[in-house]
Amino acid sequence: MRETGAEAPETGSEPTERRAVARPFFRTALNYWRSPSWRQAWLLTGAVLLLVLLSLLAQIGINRWNRFFFDALQRQDGAALLVGVGIIVGLAVAAAAAAVLLVHARMRLQVRWRQWLTNHLVGRWLSERRFYQLNIVENHSSNPEYRIAEDARLATEPLVEFFVGVTNAVLTAAAFLGILWAVGGGFAVAVGGVSFAVPGFFVWVAIAYSTICSVAMVMIGRPLARRVEAKNGQEARLRYELTRVRESAENIALIGGDEDERARIGETFADVAVRWFEVIRQQAKMTWIINGNSVLAPVVPLLVGYPKYLAGGLSLGELMQVATAFLQVQVALNYLVENAIRIAEWFASAQRVVELIGALDDLDATLGDGSGETIVLGDSADDSLRIEELVIRQSNGRLMIDAPEVTVPRGQKVLVKGQSGTGKSTLIRAIAGLWPWGSGRILRPKGARIAFMPQRPYIPLGTLRHALLYPGTDREAGDDELRKALKRCGLMHFADRLDDEEPWDRIMSGGEQQRLAFARLLIDPPDIIIMDESTSALDELSQERMLQLLHDELAAATVLNVGHRPGLEAYHDREISLVREPGQRHAVPCVVRAGLARRLLRRLSGRGADNAQTA
């Protein structure tokens, strides 16, 4: 499903939408502190908190130094000024050391948390073949690899920084508001000829000023989260389309689709640019407040405090101490507002992680709820492959195949045929355990090793030796054995390149890749071989040679082969055809043939003549 990156409508329920993102994200992500790595998690968290406190103590020391230094300057006390220089050097070293250690602790916590979350998501994505099923189900979890690799990072790293920033902001605000109250003292205000003292005057000024700035930022920056989310969705679509072009480069070049792809990508990037301009306009509005505040915040306490200084109520050192404390309070109280852009980025990334988690949860709920509405894989009582009351549906519930009971004895070679759209590939995917939607049971010999051979074999990165042994790369195989398998499959011209590390999926033709899949079978023979058009790229002679291997060297293996090319029948013991009767929307296996004589073996089930025909 292509991501449109469409912007959510402004429904006025933004806080509810954000809670809908934050709660499921934290339900998963915070398990890091309860995982087997909990000691590491809490140790790093404790280190971060301790270093935040030490940094705050250094800032308080610098604030008190301002009072000491400027009072000495006002008294023209040279000795005290020299002492002040020594003190500030020590404070600078202490503050820098605390900051450096805090960076180490914070970034280590970010990396470890991201590592845990990534492993958790990858584990769920790859378990029970969910990565395959997500490609089938229509949902909003497109590009799961990007969500795991990038969005998981963007959803964890800022949170650690927010934790540090908010903790520091709360402690800083409390500490420096206390300084403002103690040092700034009260202030005499005259209203209507009546004079009265306002205790902690600078505290109230600081809170009022911060409130004005925060309200302005919230009002202007409120739509930013939606703008950023829409922009990120459109960026993901652009990456997806570029990846498709790279993966299908040869086909696009051969059919001359360059201009069409260029137009499509240009249109997608135009949408990206529109989303970016919306973000830029929103950020530009917020920059008015941010930059204006950065200029006014240091000046406001001086303007407010200079009358008391001129009246002798504050010394120069106290005025400077109050001014720096006021600035620290502003930075602390405006932390979340000034980081609204990054918070919006976090919500957008967290939303994409939550969508992936939700898609996996939905799969688990529909496939593991014990309701029986899923295809059950089990062990057969003998060496036969058995299908019992199998009903296969699409992921949306539509019936595809209503299969009778079928038994395939060990070593039998079965050809599965049928018209396009009858569900041949879906049937063998269900037998392979890839397709869970439906009901009934598929019983396979206990402990049977299954080899699945798709039309386009997967060839991993690495050496040719690695590709030949995949996926059982821990198996030991000598060079002679590998070369013999290559020779038997017509790949002898690659025999001297076993340890060459090349992009073999690009070097080998489609036919060579299919022959490589047969070579894997010879090296590590499985118990059951499931083939899906796995000889479609071979010429007739090569196809005959590969299929003959199934009888000569893999006679003990059970074979289920989906194919439609002429001549396949001669290499199979039975043939099952999926036929859709006129007016039916689903197919039934209705034809069984045996050997070259194609004589009738038996009906597939006792469901009646309506569901079974013989030929």
6 pLDDT band (50/70/90 cuts)? very low
Q: Where are the beta strands (DSSP E) in 468-605?
A: 528-532, 558-562, 574-579, 588-594
CA dist., res. 506 & res. 467, Å (int): 13
Strands 376-380 and 194-198: unpaired
CA dist., res. 414 & res. 595, Å (int): 10
In order of 564, 568, 570, 571, the CA distances from 596 in angstroms are 16, 11, 6, 9
pLDDT digits (tens, 9 = 90+) for 257-315: 888 888 888 888 999 999 999 888 888 887 887 777 778 878 888 888 877 778 777 88
Q: Which residue has the higher pLDDT, 195 or 369?
A: 195
What is the predicted pLDDT for the residue at 7?
Answer: 37
The domains located in the chain, with CATH, are 18-367 (1.20.1560.10), 376-594 (3.40.50.300)
Check: CB of residue 52 under 8 Å from CB of residue 170. Answer: no
Of 282, 329, 33, residue with least CA distance to 156 = 33
What is the predicted pLDDT for the residue at 139?
Answer: 53
Tokens of residue 112, six digits: 């470890």
The answer, yes or no, to whether residue 4 has pLDDT greater than 50, is no
Q: What average pLDDT score do residues 204-214 get?
A: 83
What is the predicted pLDDT for the residue at 310?
Answer: 81
The answer, yes or no, to whether residue 159 has pLDDT greater than 90, is no
What is the predicted pLDDT for the residue at 46?
Answer: 94
CA dist., res. 392 & res. 405, Å (int): 13
Q: How far apart are the first and last CA of the chain?
A: 42
The answer, yes or no, to whether residue 38 has pLDDT greater than 50, is yes
Q: Where are the alpha helices (DSSP H) in 368-478?
A: 424-432, 464-469
Task: Give the single-character DSSP code of 494.
Answer: G
The 10 Å CB-count burial string (b at 16+, else e) for 244-283 is eeeeeeeebeeeeeeeebeeeeeebbebbeebbebbeebb
522 pLDDT band (50/70/90 cuts)? very high
The answer, yes or no, to whether residue 18 has pLDDT greater than 80, is no
Q: What residue has token string 């998981």? A: 152
State what percent of residues in the chain have pLDDT above 70. Answer: 84
368 pLDDT band (50/70/90 cuts)? low
Residue 97 corresponds to which amino acid?
Answer: A
Helix (H, G, I), strand (E, B) or coil at 76: coil
Beta-bridged to residue 579, according to DSSP, are 588
* Cis, peptide link before residue 307, omega less than 30° from 0: no
The answer, yes or no, to whether residue 592 has pLDDT greater than 50, is no
What is the predicted pLDDT for the residue at 582?
Answer: 56
Q: Please state, as a whole number, how many other Cβ atoms lie within 10 Å of the Cβ of residue 98.
A: 20
CA dist., res. 593 & res. 440, Å (int): 24
- Provide the sign of the torsion angle of the four alpha carbons 522, 568, 492, 466, taken in this order: negative
Contacts of 46 (CB under 8 A, 6+ apart): none
- Judged by average pLDDT, the poorest of 135-144, 159-168, 235-244, 553-562 is 135-144
Contacts of 608 (CB under 8 A, 6+ apart): none
Beta-bridged to residue 463, according to DSSP, are 501
The answer, yes or no, to whether residue 136 has pLDDT greater than 50, is yes
Q: What average pLDDT score do residues 509-514 get?
A: 92
Residue 4 corresponds to which amino acid?
Answer: T
The answer, yes or no, to whether residue 512 has pLDDT greater than 90, is yes
Q: What average pLDDT score do residues 560-571 get?
A: 83
Of 170, 156, 148, residue with least CA distance to 49 = 170
pTM for the whole thing? 0.61
The answer, yes or no, to whether residue 144 has pLDDT greater than 90, is no
Report which listed range, 172-181, 490-499, 597-606, is most confident.
Answer: 490-499
CA dist., res. 136 & res. 434, Å (int): 11
The 10 Å CB-count burial string (b at 16+, else e) for 325-346 is bbbbbbbbbbbbbbbbbbbbbb
What is the predicted pLDDT for the residue at 12?
Answer: 42
In the chain, the largest separation of any two C-alpha atoms, in whole Å, equals 118
Of 425, 485, 488, 414, residue with least CA distance to 453 = 425
Q: Where are the alpha helices (DSSP H) in 248-315?
A: 249-255, 258-296, 300-310
Check: CB of residue 424 under 8 Å from CB of residue 578. Answer: yes
Of 520, 548, 541, 386, residue with least CA distance to 452 = 520
Check: CB of residue 568 under 8 Å from CB of residue 424. Answer: no
Check: CB of residue 343 under 8 Å from CB of residue 166. Answer: no
Residue 574, Cα to own-chain centre: how many angstroms?
A: 44
CA dist., res. 207 & res. 326, Å (int): 10
pLDDT digits (tens, 9 = 90+) for 377-434: 888 888 888 888 888 887 767 777 877 678 889 999 988 887 777 778 788 788 877 7
